[in-house]
Amino acid sequence: MLYRCRHDRDVAFRKELDGLVAEHGIRVAYLVSDRSLWGRPAPEWLRSVHLASLLPDLAERDVYICGPRGLADQMLDVLAKLGVRPGQVHTEAFSF
């Protein structure tokens, strides 16, 4: 799971997500704008080359996007470039 937000304090359900990591071994990467992750600054995390390195089998997965319309639209373009078919992508876009 990739969780994108601006600050650590913005992470909703962090305790629950960390519990799922501990109990079930899922992987959660918190992509927080005010710090780097794996040596990459925030604006680069969701580019196709970096998503492909984080999730090499992405084209074989279903992808769930929940976020602002602009992010959802950006991600749809990136996912298409990575070979993710439209039927594999599920979105819930919102506005503030």
Could you report the per-residue pLDDT of 17-47, keeping only the tens digit for each?
Answer: 999 999 999 989 888 877 666 666 656 778 8
What does residue 57 show for φ and ψ, rounded to 5 degrees?
-100, 25
> Do 51 and 17 reside in the same domain of the chain?
no
Range of the domain at 79: 46-96
Q: Is 36 helix (H, G, I), strand (E, B) or coil?
A: coil
> Do 21 and 58 reside in the same domain of the chain?
no
> Do 65 and 85 reside in the same domain of the chain?
yes
Number of domains in the chain: 2
Q: How many CB atoms lie within 10 A of CB 4?
A: 19
On whether the CB atoms of residues 7 and 33 are closer than 8 A, the answer is yes
51-90 pLDDT tens trace:
888 889 999 999 999 989 988 999 999 999 999 999 999 9
Amino acid 78: pLDDT: 94
| Site of tokens 């599920």 | 90
CA-wise closest residue to 53 among 77, 71, 37? 37
The model carries a pTM of 0.77
41 in a domain, yes or no?
no
Amino acid 63: pLDDT: 95
> Do 3 and 23 reside in the same domain of the chain?
yes
CA distance 40 to 21: 23
Amino acid 31: pLDDT: 82
User: Is residue 94 very low, low, confident or very high in pLDDT (cuts 50, 70, 90)?
Assistant: confident
